[in-house]
Structure 1
């Protein structure tokens, strides 16, 4: 299992694919690890050097303490991604983020435009709220632990059909959520709560694809379309029969969308 010191924390990552291929960086959603992308790697790693990492406080990446009402902040999470690229000697990458990973990717594309070739924003938005949603979830975690939010989260992550047909997978993802550190989840929840990226997104220069599951309750299609409309030249794609984690429910379809989009970009 590769680990590296980057941005003042120890980061768990995976890098696979041809050494001379364009790098494709994946950023996970809140409460998950980089394993949500597993089913897409065999296809995409044939053409890209696929870099996945666990966000701060998630998976096997180090958590930093959350004190009071101050979370990690979206700038911190974007800086984490840039620091990982630096530590691995990667100057530029295509960047794909899901949910909070997509918010991080938006911020990275604004803060460090020269680092981002193509941008894929999955089931995310410039503002995911209202803040009361995150305040209630943080309170529930502090009162009952991570397991206390699992049922509600699974209902948002996956469609009813997927939950019925793949109960073992859903239990596995509930376990993944439950093993996320409280500091990591709360710190990232506060980062989402406090982030409004909508105005800054007009400055994103990277070619952008916005993808959303047609049954996503957490970041509904209307919100994703609003995100696409806010980014100059962004494309929008609706993924059928998917909720908030399409890389698990519809990995082949999502991989095809990403590959088709990136193949159409000019070499830089």
Structure 2
């Protein structure tokens, strides 16, 4: 990095590339917010630091093809979503300069870094699905089915952990993410659990994958079940801290009950969603979110339209009875933890007991969100199971 006169702000690391990565990492929010997102520094800038920082941000967002953000001196007026973006950017007083060639080089490197740019695949009803793929094309395939409404960044640790040995694909929920071209949100054509299960199969079609292991996390576990019940192209499953509707067969946590009630209310109409969105835009909302991933977790609550659509999509996941889906005979690993206070472990225990070829692993540590962290113990467990269930796939390659 050059050390000449300062022209802009940098995050904690002092790296222009770190700032570029943070801007790209928060793009799901800046692309979908109806007005330019405001961001505040970690602490007030001295002198004309704010204007210098704005100049660098404008140049960097332009090079990355992202919406501009607006610097403000302090976080006081910001919404919860804007605060989440600000904390991810971690802007500090300007202390470095970047010439245009360097800035363009950094932008190119960041845009092509793992997991890369999305590939748009059409769902069966024509809805555009933002998808990613990593790993050898001739390796056994793993479809990572993430939680509804979560940006790809939340699942990227799993993509990185598995893509050395497997062809790993994933996608973002239909209708909840704006395109890179500035076109905004696409129409939400369908939202049922079956439709979302079909999206998994459409993603496989888009990448020319005939069969795959489905790895479902949180509500993605129910989507994986729905796809597996409808198609033998899913040859095996792993279901991690799944969120299931099982009637009276398993209790739900207070969190599950509260979220299900919230989603039912906002799904009634855009007016109800707008009222709830005003409440959830307050900065206090961030207090309940894990700070290092808050910019992902807050995405489906960032606008009233997103919240309405999230009520339809995740509401369908959380309210559709999964018991009729438990006839699939594919080998399945079911993972939970007694310390999960988000999705009740009893749901996973019921699933494992009633799927014909399932095994249950209850981990001694780890809450709901650590399933997305892809820690070494969980990765080892996933790889061990995948080696067992993909042996035939490997023999055929």
TM class, shorter-length: 0.7 to 0.9
Of residues 199, 217, 227 in structure 2, which corresponds to 1:108? 227
Structure 2's unaligned 5+ residue stretches are: 1-116, 180-184, 247-251, 267-271
Superposed displacement of residue 193, structure 1: 4.1
Of residues 135, 139, 143 in structure 2, which corresponds to 1:25? 143
Find the aligned partners of 1:262 and 1:136 in 2 and give their Cα distance.
Answer: 36
CA change 1:84–1:220 in 2 (3 A) is same
- Post-superposition Cα deviations, 1:18-51, rounded to whole Å, max 9, x if no partner, equal 1110110011112312221212323211110110
Aligned to 2:162: 44
* Corresponding position: 1:219 with 2:343: yes
Find the aligned partners of 1:252 and 1:153 in 2 and give their Cα distance.
Answer: 28
* CA RMSD, Structure 1 to Structure 2 (Å): 2.9
Contact 1:119 1:206 in 2 (8 A): yes
Superposed displacement of residue 127, structure 1: 1.3
Deviates most, 240-249 or 57-66? 57-66
Contact 1:207 1:234 in 2 (8 A): yes
Aligned to 2:120: 3
**How many positions carry a matched residue from both structures?**
252
Partner SS for 2:261: helix
Structure with the larger RCO, 1 or 2 (CA within 8 Å, 6+ apart): 1
Find the aligned partners of 1:124 and 1:153 in 2 and give their Cα distance.
Answer: 24
Q: When the two structures are superposed, what TM-score results if normalisation uses the length of structure 1?
A: 0.81
Structure 1's unaligned 5+ residue stretches are: none
Superposed displacement of residue 247, structure 1: 3.4
* Corresponding position: 1:207 with 2:331: yes
Aligned to 1:95: 214
* Corresponding position: 1:64 with 2:187: yes
Contact 1:37 1:247 in 2 (8 A): no
Deviates most, 171-180 or 88-97? 171-180
- Post-superposition Cα deviations, 1:123-157, rounded to whole Å, max 9, x if no partner, equal 115416687852334436712228718977985xx
Superposed displacement of residue 4, structure 1: 2.2
Find the aligned partners of 1:32 and 1:63 in 2 and give their Cα distance.
Answer: 16
Partner SS for 2:392: coil
Aligned to 1:192: 317
Aligned to 2:261: 135
Find the aligned partners of 2:153 and 2:215 in 1 and give their Cα distance.
Answer: 14
Partner SS for 1:52: strand
CA change 1:44–1:64 in 2 (3 A) is same
Superposed displacement of residue 85, structure 1: 1.3
Find the aligned partners of 1:21 and 1:14 in 2 and give their Cα distance.
Answer: 16
Which is higher, the Rg of structure 1 or of structure 2? Answer: 2
CA change 1:29–1:149 in 2 (3 A) is farther
Find the aligned partners of 1:259 and 1:88 in 2 and give their Cα distance.
Answer: 22
Contact 1:34 1:59 in 2 (8 A): no
Find the aligned partners of 1:115 and 1:147 in 2 and give their Cα distance.
Answer: 43
* Corresponding position: 1:235 with 2:365: no
Contact 2:301 2:307 in 1 (8 A): no
- Post-superposition Cα deviations, 1:160-207, rounded to whole Å, max 9, x if no partner, equal xxx4xxx3x043334434347234311213312441011330x11110
Find the aligned partners of 1:185 and 1:11 in 2 and give their Cα distance.
Answer: 16
Find the aligned partners of 1:193 and 1:122 in 2 and give their Cα distance.
Answer: 15
* Corresponding position: 1:13 with 2:145: no
Superposed displacement of residue 63, structure 1: 4.8
